[in-house]
A and B are shown apart, each in its own frame.
Chain A
């Protein structure tokens, strides 16, 4: 009798887990079906258009790629530097603890609020306008806590013994960090960084708030250029009432998900390929 009850309970719990996974499968299948109609090489190489059949994601794709590179360029040095400070120098200093709490709280701030910050600081106060660099800077702040947390985890996974070995050889703290700790933590740091960037690239709200425009018929020619991004283009298509644009939105989503999938696969690859050396 109790065995039967156990079985039912187990099935209930499994069903609770199966539901979201089922939704995931259904969602992907549905999007793929809907988007298949529009997916073609031309879709990747065309500009937006008033005619759904002719519209493409080229400027969004380019914008997203540029945003990714620039966001990484901004977020990684600061994020990794901050993580090194907190993990290797901070100890139980009060300032390090305060920064830690701050980072934890920043991680919970809604992304749309970062958009407001970017609008006020980068777009207006610093006069960068509604530009690529303003977008990248906003996204960099958004993912900074993620980079810091994942880098700290990677640093923590480096055995204490390696640091001691470096110091006992007469290396300074920084020499040890740079030549021993960072190389050992590099795969973990890189994996975390890729995941953070893929998180940034799926963000829509902050870019809307800082004023990325959907309808752009040229490619950005520098960091100060106006820009669009994949999620912005998808959002503009979703918002159109005409059914034809739903196909564009779905096709755009397929492209975006493929891009994110590639990034995630790269992250997993980095982790697996180098983890043998790093875990010793």
Chain B
């Protein structure tokens, strides 16, 4: 039996908790959350569908073992490695800049800077991270490359060096900010323990704090690498459009992302093999960045205070 007062409330007020509406609202909100899942499924289906069609014509073998990528030529070749080499080269240069400098900057922020300085500097780093990469690309092409050409002999107008360096500056705030978080997660007693043994400030940082924050720092680096691999505009503007299997930073190359831009800008008829190439390259890019992100998240999970 339903106790009537509990259903009708008191004082004759007609009160209904409307459980049906509550349920509908929850379902609607769940549907909103489902959009993100649909997005992922959409990305996978789109990339996989076109890639399968591509491989049916080209074959996985040519894709993996040919050393040239010239899909827009009259006698096309479809070896992915030149694009991967281009991506690896620019990302590698960027990491060489971003990881050491970002880490040192993080040490400064977390361990050495007075609180006031930190409060000013951290937002400034965020500004740096918020600048559209298009701006960095223009900067690389119009300012950095001409300047580098004066000191680096044989540097071409388009090259891997200049966009790589600029990209390093672009992802540096990410490395610094995430490493800063990792360093701050190291509990104070660990530092105090070292100080109590008479260790100085710097040895404590190098021997105690940095090792303790290692997995967080690894995660920061991995995420930054993912960002560099996926970065598009800097390399599309300043690195050139010549897929080339080389590690020479002075010559024009092409990255995976820049190739997608190149094809998108040209007039490639839909449904042709050439138009499918952006999906294949996109798929490779998606898998690569996904793996990097999963690795980064795994590293975070093993960090002290991480995984929460």
A residues adjacent to B (C-beta < 8 A):
2, 5-6, 9-10, 12-17, 19-21, 23-24, 27, 30-31, 34, 77-82, 84-86, 89, 95-96, 98-99, 102-106, 108-117, 119-121, 124, 141, 144-145, 148, 170, 172-174, 195, 198-199, 202-205, 208-209, 211, 231, 234-235, 238-239, 246, 249-250, 253, 256-257, 260, 264
Q: Would you call B135 and A108 a contact (CB within 8 A)?
A: no
> Contacting B101 at CB < 8 Å: which of A20, A208, A250?
A20
> Contacting B264 at CB < 8 Å: which of A14, A209, A253?
A209
> Contacting B279 at CB < 8 Å: which of A96, A114, A116, A249?
A116
Taking A17-B125, A108-B296, A141-B35 as known contacts, 14 extra A-B pairs with beta carbons closer than 8 A to each other, sorted by chain A number, are: A16-B102, A20-B101, A20-B105, A31-B138, A81-B31, A84-B29, A102-B36, A113-B43, A115-B264, A119-B264, A172-B17, A202-B133, A208-B261, A234-B134
B residues adjacent to A (C-beta < 8 A):
15, 17-18, 21-22, 25-26, 28-37, 39-40, 42-43, 46-47, 50, 100-105, 107-109, 112-113, 121, 124-125, 127-128, 130-139, 141-143, 169, 172-173, 176, 200-202, 205, 223, 226, 229-233, 236-237, 257, 260-261, 264-265, 270, 278-279, 282, 285-286, 289-290, 292-294, 296-297
Contacts of A110 in B (CB 8 A): 229-232, 257, 285-286, 289
Contacts of B109 in A (CB 8 A): 17
A108 and B130 CA atoms in complex are apart in Å by 16
User: Which residue of the partner chain B has the closest CB to A148?
Assistant: B36
User: Which residue of the partner chain B has the closest CB to A243?
Assistant: B142
Contacts of B264 in A (CB 8 A): 115, 119, 208-209, 211
Q: Would you call B33 and A99 a contact (CB within 8 A)?
A: yes
A149 and B273 CA atoms in complex are apart in Å by 38
Given contacts A82-B36, A102-B37, contact A20 B172 (CB under 8 A): yes
A232 and B67 CA atoms in complex are apart in Å by 33
Given contacts A105-B40, A110-B231, A113-B43, contact A13 B112 (CB under 8 A): yes
Number of A-B contacts (CB under 8 A): 246
A78 and B34 CA atoms in complex are apart in Å by 9
Contacts of B35 in A (CB 8 A): 78, 82, 141, 144
Contacts of B36 in A (CB 8 A): 82, 99, 102-103, 106, 144-145, 148
A19 and B169 CA atoms in complex are apart in Å by 8
Q: Would you call A253 and B138 a contact (CB within 8 A)?
A: yes
Main secondary structure of the interface of B (DSSP, over half): helix
Q: Would you call A17 and B135 a contact (CB within 8 A)?
A: no
A59 and B231 CA atoms in complex are apart in Å by 26
A113 and B29 CA atoms in complex are apart in Å by 26
A21 and B120 CA atoms in complex are apart in Å by 12
A208 and B294 CA atoms in complex are apart in Å by 28
Given contacts A108-B289, A113-B282, contact A204 B134 (CB under 8 A): yes
Q: Would you call B278 and A116 a contact (CB within 8 A)?
A: yes
CB distance from A267 to the nearest CB of B (A): 10
Q: Would you call B21 and A209 a contact (CB within 8 A)?
A: no
CB distance from A61 to the nearest CB of B (A): 15
Q: Would you call A109 and B43 a contact (CB within 8 A)?
A: yes
Contacts of B226 in A (CB 8 A): 108
User: Closest 9 A-B residue pairs measured CB to CB?
Assistant: A110-B230, A81-B32, A202-B132, A13-B108, A16-B104, A108-B293, A85-B29, A82-B33, A17-B105
CB distance from A77 to the nearest CB of B (A): 7
A82 and B124 CA atoms in complex are apart in Å by 31
Q: Would you call A257 and B135 a contact (CB within 8 A)?
A: yes
Contacts of A77 in B (CB 8 A): 32
A17 and B180 CA atoms in complex are apart in Å by 12
Contacts of B121 in A (CB 8 A): 17, 21
> Contacting B33 at CB < 8 Å: which of A14, A86, A104?
A86
Contacts of B133 in A (CB 8 A): 202, 204
Q: Would you call B169 and A20 a contact (CB within 8 A)?
A: yes
Contacts of B282 in A (CB 8 A): 112-113, 116
A97 and B105 CA atoms in complex are apart in Å by 34
CB distance from A67 to the nearest CB of B (A): 14
A105 and B32 CA atoms in complex are apart in Å by 17
Q: List 27 A-B contacts (CB under 8 A).
A: A9-B202, A12-B104, A16-B104, A17-B105, A20-B125, A23-B169, A27-B143, A79-B32, A80-B32, A85-B32, A105-B40, A106-B39, A108-B230, A108-B290, A109-B289, A111-B230, A120-B279, A144-B36, A172-B18, A202-B132, A204-B133, A204-B232, A205-B233, A208-B261, A234-B134, A253-B135, A260-B132
Q: Would you call B40 and A106 a contact (CB within 8 A)?
A: yes
Q: Would you call A81 and B33 a contact (CB within 8 A)?
A: yes
A102 and B33 CA atoms in complex are apart in Å by 10
Q: Would you call B229 and A16 a contact (CB within 8 A)?
A: no
Given contacts A108-B290, A144-B39, A256-B132, contact A116 B46 (CB under 8 A): yes
Q: Would you call A257 and B25 a contact (CB within 8 A)?
A: no
Contacts of A198 in B (CB 8 A): 130
Contacts of A141 in B (CB 8 A): 35, 39
Q: Would you call B33 and A117 a contact (CB within 8 A)?
A: no
Q: Would you call A235 and B289 a contact (CB within 8 A)?
A: no
Q: Would you call A239 and B50 a contact (CB within 8 A)?
A: no
Contacts of A85 in B (CB 8 A): 26, 29-30, 32-33
Contacts of B132 in A (CB 8 A): 202-204, 231, 256, 260
